[in-house]
A and B are shown apart, each in its own frame.
Chain A
């Protein structure tokens, strides 16, 4: 009996240490990346980085103002493509498409989520760049927007489904039509989860490089409007990091830090939004 008990305690101790070590490794990888990036990026980051254009090769200094604005424009337009389609599609899946067509859409969305981002880049290239004979912000944003669709769609569906059935019944029993119930009760009850999912989808595509390589391409100057090739932070990081100049490497670190800061800000905003308003208590 005591031998058995000792064995159990041993197993317990081993498993506890194993899970603990794994959890520690997972977190420390993140902190290592963060620390390394903050260290190198912080050294190279200055006001010029946010306000100036890239300098010609060999000339020190300059910044990535055009890439920061370019990334912002890409994300804005990508949201206009991805969020409405994902959001309304998610409503359809959760409320109307329980089987049949719903199954097909759900399956297609999961597949789309698994498509390598570079393939989505090629898709946007074939669809927008070739016919217009021009790399453009539009094409890049379209590629990013397509990537946002399945994430937004599936999480909207999940959050809508998690709204308790009793709330639907409550609204219907007061004479609300199905559509009215969705608009006035179900979506408001789920909006915070949905908003978080949208912001996370945005953060996810903010760092995508591959779909931009042959859609938005790159630009060392300002890109006016939506039909010109544009610089973006991820592509700049890629270009600068593989270049043979120390000054460019430093700038790439700074760009990495800015991109990370951007994602962090988005996450903090998401948290702040979540902390406000009335949420449905978990059963």
Chain B
């Protein structure tokens, strides 16, 4: 890694160079914003002065080589990092203009849902998995309706409607991951975070989930982490490239992949490292 990569880069979203494609970042209303974020695990700093925003009802992908901090960055957005005892964060993260760091964390996680790398259904029935969020958060609508609409949104309803009371573990890996998406959607989050949601899945299941994400941006703002550049190029509207905890480039996806403005981005997307 060269020395400049370690230098923190301060990014001003409105001043991004070469924002010439149809959908420019600066024009987008932001659902979440991160400013001057620094992050430590114990003595080790893993994020350096990261500043970026997530455009409402769009898909933002975060790419970068293993250990670049993209998953850590994602986990700051719903404060999942707090489960690690020696994690420390400085900077500001806002959701709809309000700081998430001072909010009640359970309320925040209700608004910012998350899907993990490996499908993690609970050892319960398909129905109870989807109903879990509404049950613990209290819900006015009848549960059966919430479960059905969530499973429909996750494009799983037709496959499971006759076996709602079977164990979630009887589903295939791809179905389990869509079940986890349905479970997250059941609490109607404003933002959906996905941490490499397809890395444990086969290509057909991956294609289904990618298609699903594109449909879901009508409902919520999506932030996904991936180490699969083709996936980022296929589904996302904006892409952020991270390297050793520094955000190197953040641009509309077509632009980042065709005319990257930073030589390190170009080196990464053309496969010279990572």
A170 and B122 within 8 A (CB) = yes
**Which one of A40-48, A138-146, A184-192 contacts B?**
A184-192
Q: Does B120 contact A (CB under 8 A)?
A: yes
Whether A175 pairs with B83 at a CB distance below 8 angstroms is: no
- The reply on A164 being an interface residue by CB < 8 A is yes
Q: Which residue of B lies closest to A98 (CB)?
A: B85
B187 proximal to A (CB < 8 A): yes
A171 to B132, CA, bound (A): 8
> Known contacts A169-B80, A184-B132, A278-B169; is A177 also within 8 Å of B106 by CB?
yes
Nearest-Cβ distance from residue B122 to partner chain A, whole angstroms: 6
Contact A170:B107 (CB < 8 A) given known A175-B137, A180-B136, A189-B122: no
Interface of chain A residues 159 through 181 with chain B (CB within 8 A)? 164, 166-177, 180
The reply to whether A278 and B180 form a contact with Cβ atoms under 8 Å apart is no
Instruction: Determine whether B38 belongs to the interface, using a CB cutoff of 8 Å to chain A.
Output: no
- In the complex, what distance in Å separates the CA atom of A189 from the CA atom of B123? 6
A171-B122, A174-B110 are known contacts. Are A166 and B133 too (CB-CB below 8 A)? no
In-complex Cβ contact of B122 among A167, A175, A177, A281 (8 A): A167
Q: How far is the CA of A172 from the CA of B110 in the complex (A)?
A: 10
Residue in chain B with minimal CB distance to A180 = B136
What residue in chain A is nearest B169 (Cβ atoms)?
A281
Residues of chain A within 8 A (CB-CB) of B114 are: 169, 173
- A174: chain B residues at CB < 8 Å are 109-110, 113, 132-133, 136-137, 183-184, 187
B124 at the interface (CB under 8 A from A): yes
Q: How far, in whole Å, are A173 and B80 apart by their CA atoms in the complex?
A: 7
Instruction: Identify B116's interface contact among A169, A189, A278, A281, CB under 8 A.
Output: A169
Closest B residue to A168 by beta carbon equals B83
Residue interface mask A42-75, B partner, CB < 8 A = 1: 0000000000000000000000000000000000
* Binary contact track A272-283/B, C-beta < 8 Å → 1, others 0: 000000111100
> What 0/1 readout, one digit per residue, does chain B (86-116) give for beta carbons within 8 Å of chain A?
0000000000000000000011111001101
A188 to B123, CA, bound (A): 8
Contacts of B108 in A (CB 8 A): 175
- Measured CB to CB, the closest approach of chain A to B194, in angstroms, equals 11
Residues from chain A with a CB closer than 8 A to the CB of B236 are none
Chain A residue at minimal CB-CB distance from B166: A278
Residues of chain A with a CB closer than 8 A to B183's CB: 170, 174
**B136/A175 in contact, CB under 8 A:** yes
Contact present for B113 and A166 (CB under 8 Å): no
**From DSSP, what is the main secondary structure of chain A's interface residues?**
helix
Q: Which size class do A's interface residues fall under?
A: 20 to 34
Q: Does B227 contact A (CB under 8 A)?
A: no
Are A170 and B125 touching (Cβ within 8 A)? Answer: no
Given known contacts A169-B83, A174-B187, A184 and B109 CB-to-CB distance under 8 angstroms: no
CA distance A157 to B274 in the complex (A): 41
Question: How many residues on the B side are at the interface (Cβ–Cβ under 8 A)?
Answer: 29
Q: How many A-B residue pairs have CB under 8 A?
A: 73
Q: Which residues of B contact A172 (CB under 8 A)?
A: 80, 83, 109
CA distance A280 to B176 in the complex (A): 13
A173 partner residues in chain B, CB cutoff 8 A: 78, 80, 109, 113-114, 116, 184
Instruction: Look across to chain A and name the residue whose beta carbon is closest to the beta carbon of B132.
Output: A174
Complex interface residues of chain B between 35 and 71 (CB less than 8 A to chain A)? none
Shortest C-beta distance, B53 to chain A (Å), equals 22
Which B125-144 residues have C-beta < 8 A from chain A? 125, 132-133, 136-137
Q: Which residue of A is nearest B133, CB measured?
A: A174
- B169→A167 contact, CB < 8 A: no
Interchain CA distance A175-B136 in the complex, whole Å:
8
Q: Are B120 and A166 in contact (CB under 8 A)?
A: yes
User: Could you say which residues of chain A place their CB within 8 Å of the CB of B187?
Assistant: 174-175
B118 touches A166 (CB 8 A): yes
Chain B residues lying within 8 Å of A164, measured Cβ to Cβ, are 120
In the bound complex, CA of A173 to CA of B137 (Å): 12
In the assembled complex, the CB of B57 is this many whole angstroms from the nearest CB of chain A, namely 21
Q: How far is the CB of A165 from chain B (nearest CB, A)?
A: 9
In the complex the two chains form, what is the Cα distance from A174 to B186 in whole Å?
9
- Whether the Cβ atoms of A175 and B123 lie closer than 8 Å is no
Residue B76 interfacial (CB < 8 Å): no
Contacts A169-B116, A174-B184; is A278 near B123 (CB within 8 Å)?
yes
B197, chain A: closest CB distance, angstroms: 13
Q: Is B167 among interface residues, defined by CB-CB distance under 8 A?
A: yes
Assembled-state Cα–Cα distance A185/B132 (Å): 10
CA distance A167 to B121 in the complex (A): 7
- Known contacts A175-B136, A175-B187, A281-B169: A185-B122 contact under CB 8 Å: yes
23 contacts between A and B (CB under 8 A): A164-B120, A168-B83, A169-B83, A169-B114, A170-B120, A170-B121, A170-B183, A171-B122, A172-B109, A173-B114, A174-B110, A174-B137, A175-B106, A176-B136, A185-B122, A188-B122, A188-B123, A188-B124, A189-B123, A278-B123, A278-B168, A279-B123, A281-B169
Closest 7 CB pairs of A and B: A175-B110, A166-B120, A173-B114, A278-B167, A175-B109, A174-B133, A170-B120
- Residue positions of B touching A, CB distance < 8 A: 78, 80, 83, 106-110, 113-114, 116, 118, 120-125, 132-133, 136-137, 167-169, 180, 183-184, 187
